[in-house]
Amino acid sequence: MSIDAKGIAANLRLSRIEAGLSQGDVGKHFGVTRQAVSMWERGIHKVSAELAGQLAEYYGVSIENIYDPFRALMGVR
């Protein structure tokens, strides 16, 4: 099953929260604003596969967690 942009966005948000990071923390690390991170997490701006991999590494999760179509729906940790 494939995942849509909203699913990826939800998984990014869940992974960030589980890592104990704020949107500001992520923005500072990647050189973007908190608002940019918010747009990624709401699916307004899509993240590239490269950025998704970098975010996964920063959050301490596998890229599979970011692309898992059921993770955010189930709240799987």
Enclosing domain of residue 40: 5-74
pLDDT means per 10 residues, the chain with 77 residues, are 82 97 99 98 95 98 92 66
Model pLDDT, residue 4: 86
Q: Which residue has the tokens 């993240």?
A: 47
Count of structural domains within the chain: 1
Check which CATH number belongs to the domain holding 48 and give it. Answer: 1.10.260.40
Q: What is the pLDDT of residue 8?
A: 94
Half-sphere exposure of 13 (CA within 13 A, CB side): 16
Its pTM surpasses 0.85: yes
65: left (phi over 0), alpha (psi -120 to 50) or beta: alpha
pLDDT at 70: 84
